[in-house]
Amino acid sequence: MVSAQQIHDTSAGLFAGVDEFPERVAQRRYEALVGLDDVKSRLIRHVACMLLPTELNDWASRYHGGGGLTMLEAFAARPPMFVFAGDVGTGKTVLAETFGDAVARLTGLPITLFRLSLTARGSGAVGEMTQLIEAAFAEVRRAASGLRQGTEGRAGGVILLVDEADALAQSRELAQMHHEDRAGVNELIRGVDEFARTDLPVVVIMCTNRLGALDPAIRRRAAETFSFTRPNRDQRIDVLRRLFGGAGISHMDIVAIADATGETADRSYGWTYSDLVDRLVSAAILGAFPHGPVTGIGLLAAANGMDPTPPFASERL
């Protein structure tokens, strides 16, 4: 199997990073994502079925006899791509970067994550963006080529993450779109189709804050589009309980903070997951250290003193 170091040496500039799973830090980050249990469950089942086709065949044989072949063929024919769409700070990128660890632990297979760099857009020279995307997909195919289905199933899997996907896969219907960008989107679509056609164990994840900005052909190819939203009151309580319950913050205080970080009469949106996990935790610790403990009163004051990240201003197409 190609090592992460070998991949890095041959793909400098094409990828923002290459990770291998299972990996302990990724496991902790994945488990810390609360309020996304349904998305996690559906995504892991999707990908596990793609990587373990023999087990899927056994399931169909056990429950459907010989009548499930057409159903399985239709399932296997789907492009191996998923779209994560939603507002900033709702967990899209963290889930995309870490779910490979959960897949690796569930299937017992090594998983490699490639994070496509936005430098793949190139400098605008004719043919450059297309060549860079083609080279990136070729590198992913090379890494996955030794992991095809054999008599004992897959030997591993590969995830290609395209974060801020609307920057690379913007709709070709836009009148002002440059020819080079259109060609790049065409190459992106061709690369996804080739993964499906060659039966390589590759899953493509596209994250975007602007679902409507993605090219319609990209959206049609998604096996599923997962929607990410800001946490509701119960989810905020859950997040806060996990973060501060062990520090002695009472349930009553946690509920009060959850209410303070929700929608208000003057604001139609509440806090994001990253607002709670990153900004509030930092404010709480720095406000208490080194003279005293984090308290419910201090947390509530910190929450009331900050504004949540505003929603992303989606562009109408």
Tell me: the pLDDT tens digits for 287-296? 999 999 999 9
Give the pLDDT band of residue 196 (cuts 50, 70, 90): confident
Residue located via tokens 């299972």: 22
Q: Are the C-beta atoms of 167 and 178 separated by less than 8 Å? A: no
CB atoms within 10 A of CB 141: 17
Q: Are the C-beta atoms of 17 and 161 separated by less than 8 Å? A: no
Of 140-149, 180-189, 277-286, 308-317, the one with minimum mean pLDDT is: 308-317
CB atoms within 10 A of CB 197: 10
Residue 303: what pLDDT? 96
Tens of pLDDT, residue by residue over 45-84, are 999 888 888 888 888 888 988 677 788 888 888 889 999 9
Of 9-23, 82-96, 112-126, 239-253, the one with minimum mean pLDDT is: 112-126
Higher pLDDT, 97 or 65: 97
Residue 151: what pLDDT? 43
Residue 301 has pLDDT above 80, yes or no: yes
The residue ranges of every structural domain in the chain are 4-228, 233-304
Domain 4-228: give its CATH architecture: 3-Layer(aba) Sandwich (3.40)
Task: Name, in order, each residue with C-beta under 8 angstroms of 123's C-beta and a sequence gap of 6 or more.
Answer: none
Residue located via tokens 């995309």: 96
CA distance 110 to 18: 13
Residue 119: what pLDDT? 67
Over residues 160-185, the mean pLDDT reads 79
**Chain centre to alpha carbon of residue 165:** 11
CA distance 293 to 232: 28
Tokens coding 10: 């041959």
CA distance 18 to 220: 28
Residue 122 has pLDDT above 60, yes or no: no
Over residues 174-201, the mean pLDDT reads 82
Q: In degrees rounded to 5, what are phi and psi of residue 99?
A: -65, -20
Over residues 249-277, the mean pLDDT reads 95
Tens of pLDDT, residue by residue over 208-239, are 998 998 999 999 999 999 999 999 999 999 99
